């Protein structure tokens, strides 16, 4: 079956997953409006009643829709993990935002296909992705080979070709952040880009990189439920996802670098210099930046 121009293609997994994500997002809106009691997991990692309630709902709905599929959830669900298909579920990505009344959070569902020949340390193929932002009513979706879509309209990564003109994003762990080196990377990227945003939801950062609101996203120590859906969105939108060295991205690699592809090598080179402790190229002054931009604009295409 082929789709009309500008309309969604025939999807296998996305329709049911989208309905499930929307139902989960509706419950999150209810909790958000009412306020929820918050408890602590570790020292600062907030867990709410909403997390567990929505993961239980999603687990049940996925079982009804895809009875042979496994479910790997942030809040502890580990169902039918030996199956060929496995859903990575984050029922509430952006828990700390949610708990503080900051409206930047989402439901994230990513589907991986794992053949019988795969070893336990090998990734399968990402087949489907749904990320739902209930506060903006934005549903991002993708299936392998069928493009990336936002509320039924296809989208692509941005065409910005230089880091200096790019808006990028990152995140920090909610606990043990004093052990994270990311503040040093944040400093360098802030000075060398048009700006760095830290909005508190990795899944939405990846979705926004995919649809061109951001040019890139990087973060340390994420989990498969944080990245599975967003990584497929980025690649289906024409972007690129690797580790910080430009190598193969792994769901458990603890390094994710996603971009529009055009600035990827520049990002990788900057990471290489920072990890090596090399002296970095001096940051251009505003006058030098304006001159370089004018020179690029005047150069033959």
Q: Look-up: residue for tokens 């794992």?
A: 114
The model's pTM: 0.88
Q: Say if CB 255 and CB 243 are below 8 A apart.
A: yes
Encoded tokens for 209: 């990189």
- Quickly count: other Cβ atoms within 10 Å of residue 221's Cβ: 16
Q: Say if CB 55 and CB 91 are below 8 A apart.
A: yes
Distance CA 239, CA 158 (A): 9
Tell how strand 38-41 and strand 153-155 pair up.
unpaired
Q: Say if CB 144 and CB 229 are below 8 A apart.
A: no
Q: What is the pLDDT along the chain (301 residues), one digit of tens a residue?
A: 334 445 567 899 999 999 999 999 999 999 999 887 776 665 545 677 889 899 999 999 999 999 999 998 876 667 676 779 999 999 999 998 998 999 999 999 999 998 878 877 788 999 999 999 999 999 999 999 999 999 999 999 999 999 999 999 999 876 555 556 788 889 889 989 999 999 999 999 999 999 999 999 999 989 999 999 999 999 999 999 999 999 999 998 789 999 999 999 999 999 998 888 776 666 666 677 678 778 877 888 6
What is the C-alpha radius of gyration for the chain, rounded to an integer number of angstroms?
Answer: 20
Encoded tokens for 38: 């918050």
Backbone angles phi, psi at 273, to 5 degrees: -65, -40
Q: Say if CB 74 and CB 223 are below 8 A apart.
A: yes
């Amino acid at each position: 079956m082929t789709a009309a121009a500008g309309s969604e293609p025939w999807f296998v997994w996305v329709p049911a997953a989208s309905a499930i994500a929307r139902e989960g997002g509706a419950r999150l809106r209810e909790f958000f409006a009412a306020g929820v009691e918050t408890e602590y997991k570790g020292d600062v990692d907030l867990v709410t009643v909403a997390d567990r309630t929505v993961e239980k709902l999603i687990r049940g709905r996925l079982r009804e829709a895809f009875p042979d599929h496994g479910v790997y959830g942030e809040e502890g669900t580990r169902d039918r993990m030996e199956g060929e298909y496995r859903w990575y579920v984050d029922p509430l990505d952006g828990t700390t935002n949610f708990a503080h009344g900051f409206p930047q959070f989402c439901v994230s569902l990513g589907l991986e296909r794992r053949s019988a020949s795969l070893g336990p340390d090998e990734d399968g193929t990402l087949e489907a992705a749904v990320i739902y932002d209930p506060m903006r009513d934005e549903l991002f979706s993708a299936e392998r080979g069928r493009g990336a879509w936002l509320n039924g309209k296809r989208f692509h990564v941005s065409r910005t070709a230089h880091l200096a003109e790019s808006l990028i994003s990152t995140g920090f762990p909610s606990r043990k952040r004093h052990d994270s080196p990311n503040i040093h990377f944040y400093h360098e990227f802030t000075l060398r880009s048009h700006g760095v945003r830290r909005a508190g939801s990795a899944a939405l950062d990846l979705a926004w990189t995919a649809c061109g609101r951001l040019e890139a996203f990087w973060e340390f120590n994420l989990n498969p439920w944080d990245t599975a859906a967003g990584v497929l969105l980025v690649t289906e939108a024409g972007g690129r996802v690797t580790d910080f060295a430009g190598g193969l991205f792994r769901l458990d690699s603890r390094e994710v670098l996603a971009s529009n592809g055009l600035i990827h090598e520049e990002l990788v080179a900057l990471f290489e210099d920072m990890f090596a402790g090399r002296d970095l190229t001096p940051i251009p002054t505003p006058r030098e930046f304006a001159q370089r931009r004018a020179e690029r604009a005047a150069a033959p295409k």
